[in-house]
Structure 1
Amino acid sequence: MAKKSTKDFTLKQLLAPKYWLTWLAMGIIYLLSFLPWNTQQFLGKYLGLLLYKATPRRRHICDVNFEICYPEMSKEERVELTKQHFISTGKGLFETFTSWFQSPKKLASRVEFNTKEVIDRTLEKGRGCILISGHFSPLDLCGSLVTLDLDVHPIYKRQNNAVFNWVMEKQRKKVYSKMIERSDMREVLKSLKNNKAVWYAVDQDYGRKNSVFAPFFGRQCATISHIGRIAKMTNAPVLLFDYGRTENGYNYRFVEVENYPTDNDVTNATIINQLMEEAISTKKEQYLWSHRRFKTQPVKGDPSPYER
């Protein structure tokens, strides 16, 4: 059963004193979303550098991930890439503010999109489609921008902070015609049946129960296994949604995933991980390296590589 949405909370409940600081933060975020794009990018850079200094644990996670994924990198190169990752993350926070409180049309002139024929050809089949992507820092904004060309139904995770989640759901509903909480499989199937695009970010560690182990940058990694099963059940085509930040804006493209799904969950997961590796290779600093991607070990009880 899907988790209850905090949109169902009354405003009176969310005005309790314990939420006042969150509401203050939301007010500041709202005001920041009106800043010009160049100003946001400038401030985002220095916010990222502040986060780099203030979060040693996240720096450590990045460094471990780089050691695993790019063993040829020197320590100096890993430090520099970590710093660039935090700068990109700072910019991504401002982009998230914009995606919540501004119309995507505001940045339409900064978007490069030249594969519309791919999504049009896919939806002509009448079976909907499954979009898969990774977690890159402009995720929220690029997701908002893609609605200029496509009615997409994103899968999302409910946040623990009730006010944060209430605002997120309320504002995203202005952009997306439908959002699907990640446990609500009935709504996923309904959207595909109605020939809509369902969007999954497929590159996080959700634990042993919902995963199989497949190589990611040469290391066995817990990878979600249900994408192939949904595709097989519905016969919905699967497309890679590859997006990123450029010097002057954003670009995104759709690529049809061929020979997918197979009858093997591990093979399906391996294909997904290879696609993620290719997407990361062109914009390494924008990827979410501060996530503990290799936390769950193939052998239960083995220590996490992030333990100091």
Structure 2
Amino acid sequence: MFSWHFLAPRYWPVWLGLGAMKGMAALPFRWQLLAGRQIGRWAGKIMRRRRRIAAINLALCFPELSSAQRADLLEEHFAALGIGLFETAMAWWAPDERLYGLARVEGTQYLEQAMARGKGVILLTGHFTTLELGARFITWRHSFHAMYRSHKNSLYEAVMRRERERRSRLPPLPHEDLRGLLRAFKRGRAVWYAPDQNHGLRNSVFVPFFGVPTCTITATSRLAALSGAAVVPYFPRRLSGTAGYEVTILPALENFPSGDVASDTQRINELLEHHIRQAPAQYLWVHRRFKTQPPGSPRIYPL
């Protein structure tokens, strides 16, 4: 992982940030929540572009809420983002002994049943602020590959790959490595996958997400069809106060894939929406989920 060029001055801020994160992982959980909440709210005031994106997303997805309610949800979202920094630090560097008392994982029998088929499993989830820590809790039950998109900063990318592989006990797989994915399924392995980000028009269809026609990648249905892998959804959630976390593993999707890619993709969106609504502040609203629009539709986000 280590390369001497990572000692160049341009990487020093990243080293400082990683060092700070490692220190954050050692703090008591109550302190992490308090500090993360404050950092997130502070960041929400200076990250004006991301704040505007999140506000637009919330207005599109929760039109039934009043302006005041959406404003409160926006503040809670940035607080959750701040806590997410500490959760990532814990996921990478906290020992299991510190985390065992923080999480309850339900539905592990569904994952075991799907793995017993021997055709592999797509561990399906969404981009929640608890993403890294939720995946760490899954590693207590089973090893898995993680599908990912490369990070622009090569030092952060190298550290992220190392820590994810160290915890999940299998190397991460880039999105574009279709052969690697199919080999993993053929070996009966689990692959972590979150299909809820905008990847453009290629291999995507427009299906509703919170009632908004949304450009959504069809890879979940296509991978299941090519490999025969079961699709097992799971969703992490941070509980109120210092109660810790809950990870819910659901039964493998039945009659999936159905042969209708658009219908399968909409089914995934509906599943994600249902679980997002249970803790809406903990979803990644700062992502430009609705960036790609049908031809002739107005732009959703400002330049």
TM-score, normalisation: structure 2: 0.95
Write the letter of the residue equivalent to 1:277. E
Whole-angstrom distance in 1 between the partners of 2:199 and 2:70: 26
Whole-angstrom distance in 2 between the partners of 1:212 and 1:78: 28
1:306 and 2:284 aligned: no
Could you list the per-position Cα deviations for residues 82-122 of structure 1 after superposition, in whole angstroms to 9, with x for gaps in the alignment? Answer: 00001111101111111122234420111111211111111
CA contact (8 A) 2:195 2:219 kept: no
Q: What corresponds to 1:211 in structure 2?
A: 204
1:278 and 2:274 aligned: yes
Write the letter of the residue equivalent to 1:132. L
Write the letter of the residue equivalent to 2:47. T
CA contact (8 A) 1:135 1:287 kept: yes
Whole-angstrom distance in 2 between the partners of 1:134 and 1:181: 17
CA contact (8 A) 1:180 1:187 kept: yes
Q: What corresponds to 2:215 in structure 1?
A: 222
CA contact (8 A) 1:105 1:148 kept: no
Aligned residue pairs: how many?
A: 299
CA contact (8 A) 1:294 1:304 kept: no
Instruction: Point out 4+ residue stretches in structure 1 off by more than 3 angstroms.
Output: none
Whole-angstrom distance in 2 between the partners of 1:137 and 1:103: 20
**2:176 pairs with one of 168, 171, 183:** 183
Which sections of structure 2, spanning at least 5 residues, go unmatched? none
Q: What corresponds to 1:96 in structure 2?
A: 88
Whole-angstrom distance in 1 between the partners of 2:269 and 2:175: 20
Q: What corresponds to 1:202 in structure 2?
A: 195
Write the letter of the residue equivalent to 1:283. A
Mapping of residues 105-120 of structure 1, within 5 Å = 105-120=97-112
Write the letter of the residue equivalent to 2:152. N
1:24 and 2:19 aligned: no
Identity rate of aligned residues, in percent? 34
TM-score, normalisation: structure 1: 0.93
Whole-angstrom distance in 2 between the partners of 1:154 and 1:172: 8
Whole-angstrom distance in 2 between the partners of 1:93 and 1:113: 22
Write the letter of the residue equivalent to 1:253. T
SS at match of 1:100: helix
Offset of residue 220 of structure 1:
0.7
Write the letter of the residue equivalent to 2:67. K
Write the letter of the residue equivalent to 2:105. F
Mapping of residues 1-308 of structure 1, within 5 Å = 7=1, 11-178=3-170, 179-247=172-240, 248-255=243-250, 256-299=252-295, 302-307=297-302
Write the letter of the residue equivalent to 1:272. I
Whole-angstrom distance in 2 between the partners of 1:202 and 1:99: 21
Write the letter of the residue equivalent to 2:33. Q
Whole-angstrom distance in 2 between the partners of 1:138 and 1:239: 18
CA contact (8 A) 2:105 2:249 kept: no
Whole-angstrom distance in 2 between the partners of 1:94 and 1:76: 28
Root-mean-square deviation over aligned CA pairs: 1.4
CA contact (8 A) 1:260 1:268 kept: yes
